[in-house]
Amino acid sequence: MTGRGLFITLEGGDGSGKSTQAALLESWLQESDRVVLRTREPGGTDFGAEVREIVLHSTGHISPRAEALLYAADRAHHISTKVRPAIERGDVVIQDRYLDSSVAYQGAGRVLDADEIRGLSLWAAEGLLPDVTILLDLDEQVARGRLDSARSRFDRLENEKSEFHGRVRAAFLELARAEPARFLVLDATLPVERLAALIRGRIEPLLASSIDAGSDAS
């Protein structure tokens, strides 16, 4: 199948199940003969992998504004070199975290100006917004329990206190309320397959639209 590409992002707190749902969505799309790019921020490029190591695993202090700028630098390079070319080819991009994570984590979590963080992210990405954003909403205490049972090492953000993650969750939900046409908010405590079905239900009409758009363009 060919047509205009799609840009799908998954958002939510750590432990909400984004990686699982991204993998299931990728498999479903590939079964429909769509070319899929599955990626993440930070870390979707070689440069991004270096940024990821700094922002998530550095043992030293990073000031909130420096952290925000590092994420923006990763985003600028990632979108320019990997994501936008894939969309222009007609591929479906599934991305774990994007600008909404910056607004939630650096804006609300680090108590920076959310509008400034969003503006920085949009500048870095040259205005690119997702076609749809899947928000997997999960209580921060439940999320922490999932992380505790799944791993022994936590990154800099996962190690933040409950109050930090509470602000992040509230920010995600506020972003979804502000852009209901873009967001699909799902209860991350639902069974994995139920979540996957709900996500497919939102994506399927977009696939048809993208194919129609490609046919019209040709």
What's the confidence (pLDDT) of residue 152? 64
What's the confidence (pLDDT) of residue 1? 38
Task: Provide the 8-state DSSP code for 32.
Answer: T
What's the confidence (pLDDT) of residue 147? 85
- Tens of pLDDT along the chain (218 residues)? 345 799 999 999 989 999 999 999 999 999 999 999 999 999 999 999 999 999 999 888 999 999 999 999 999 999 999 999 999 999 999 999 999 999 999 999 999 999 999 999 999 999 999 999 999 999 999 988 888 877 767 888 888 889 999 999 999 999 999 999 999 999 999 999 999 999 999 999 999 876 555 555 54
b/e for 125-163, b at 16 or more Cβ within 10 A? beebebbbbbbbbbbbeebbebeeeeeeeeeebbebeee
Hey, what domains does the chain have and what are their CATH numbers?
6-217 (3.40.50.300)
Closest CA to 134 of 84, 203, 213, 81: 203
For the four alpha carbons of 125, 43, 181 and 89, in that order, the dihedral sign comes to: positive
Q: pTM value?
A: 0.92
Question: By the 8 A CB rule, do 172 and 104 touch?
Answer: yes
What's the confidence (pLDDT) of residue 216? 56
